[in-house]
Amino acid sequence: MSPLRWVWAALAVWGAVHPMYWFVAWFRTEGWSLPRMIDAWYVNAATTGLTWDLTIAAITLTVWVLAEVAVRRNWVALLAIPATFCIGVSCGLPLYLFLRAKPIR
């Protein structure tokens, strides 16, 4: 495996674990309510802007993954889509780059 693939893999793991730490900490403090967390994303203009920034990035990544999978037939790369929407762009993007960097046979 190339050094760059190791970087993508490490970033995907970090992008999954680090944000999840903060999400779990929030749930423990505020209660296990997803609607309340979503409300917190829109508490002020700064968080609303960040929420929309990440939403647009996630949609863009999804379109990119679908477009490249249609051409490259690298079906395993589709795993980046649920990773993006269930964990976050911080996991989905490096995961996709990791899966994309694998030689296709």
**Which tokens in the block code for residue 38?**
């979503």
Q: What b/e sequence results for 41-56 when a residue is b if at least 16 CB atoms lie within 10 Å of its CB, and e otherwise?
A: eeeeeeeeeeeeeeee
Query: What is the band of 61 on the pLDDT scale with cuts at 50, 70, 90?
Result: very high
Closest by CA to 21, choosing from 72, 100, 87, is 87
Residue 86, both tokens: 């269930």
Residue 104 pLDDT > 70: no
* 26 backbone dihedrals φ, ψ, rounded to 5°: -65, -45
Q: Is the pLDDT of residue 103 over 80?
A: no
Q: What is the pLDDT of residues 10-53, one digit of tens each?
A: 999 999 999 999 999 999 999 999 999 999 999 999 999 999 99
- Going by the DSSP 8-state scheme, the letter that residue 50 receives in this structure is H
State what percent of residues in the chain have pLDDT above 70.
Answer: 98
- Alpha-carbon gap, residue 21 to 31, rounded angstroms: 15
8 Å CB contact between 60 and 37: no
